[in-house]
């Protein structure tokens, strides 16, 4: 069992962590901390224009975004969470450092208890993007995360993925499935 209070404290002080999610390992940080965001981009070798994904402990973490969504769509989003489903939601309230070149923001309440516990202890949404260098496959196990990224992050949180075989399904606001996950 991990001490999520200490993990959250690391995140609140600008730390970058590696953590398990549903199908792959992720890099997480405080979305309001520009330095931490830049560290994630540097670790991944990722362009800022692609934007970042946010995870939350529950749909309440995205209340400020979901308020502007049609009632029937909101019900569909909330019914899919927690789940291995990322929704592209209105992102006008997020800075370009999170949205990238998009007008939407990718949001998920993960189907991974530990990831939700970390977000809950943090007290709001977290950036969580796959733990890999651009163009390479993501880390799938704790040992991989620690070996390949342990020196670049502040903390590698012990854990395991929850059995999915890859990244989450991504659905746009109009219901278009942009990426399908497998189990």
pLDDT tens-digit series, residues 79-127? 999 999 999 999 988 999 999 999 999 999 999 999 999 999 999 999 9
Question: Model's pTM, two decimal places?
Answer: 0.95
Strand partners, 154: none
Q: Is the pLDDT of residue 157 over 80?
A: yes
- Non-local CB neighbours of 130 within 8 Å, separated by 6+ positions: 24, 25, 26, 27, 138, 167
Q: Cα torsion for 113, 33, 77, 57, to the nearest 10°?
A: 30
Contact status, residue 52 vs residue 98, Cβ threshold 8 Å: yes
Q: How much is the pLDDT for 117?
A: 97
Tokens of 1: 């069992």
The model's pLDDT over 4-33, given as tens digits with 9 standing for 90+, comes to 999 999 999 999 999 999 999 999 999 999
CA atoms within 13 A on the CB side of 177: 7
Tell me the per-residue pLDDT of 41-81, one tens digit each, with 9 for 90 and over. 999 999 999 999 999 999 999 999 999 899 999 999 999 99
Please report the domains of the chain, with CATH numbers, ordered by start residue: 4-179 (3.90.870.10)
């Amino acid at each position: 069992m991990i001490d999520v209070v200490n993990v959250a404290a690391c995140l609140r002080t600008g730390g970058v962590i590696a953590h398990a999610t549903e199908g792959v390992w992720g890099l997480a940080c405080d979305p309001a901390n520009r330095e931490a965001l830049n560290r994630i981009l540097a670790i991944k070798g990722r362009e800022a224009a692609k934007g970042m994904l946010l995870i939350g402990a529950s749909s309440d973490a995205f209340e400020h975004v979901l308020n502007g969504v049609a009632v029937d769509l909101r019900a569909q989003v909330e019914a899919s969470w927690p789940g291995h489903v990322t929704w592209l939601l209105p992102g006008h309230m997020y800075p370009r450092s999170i949205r990238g070149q998009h007008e939407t923001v990718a949001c998920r309440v993960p189907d991974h208890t530990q990831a939700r516990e970390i977000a809950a202890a943090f007290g709001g949404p977290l950036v969580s993007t796959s733990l890999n260098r651009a163009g390479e496959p993501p880390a799938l196990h704790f040992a991989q995360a620690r070996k390949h990224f342990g020196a670049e992050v502040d903390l590698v949180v012990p854990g395991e993925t929850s059995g999915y075989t890859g990244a989450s399904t991504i659905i746009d606001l109009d219901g278009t499935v942009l990426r399908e996950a497998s189990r």
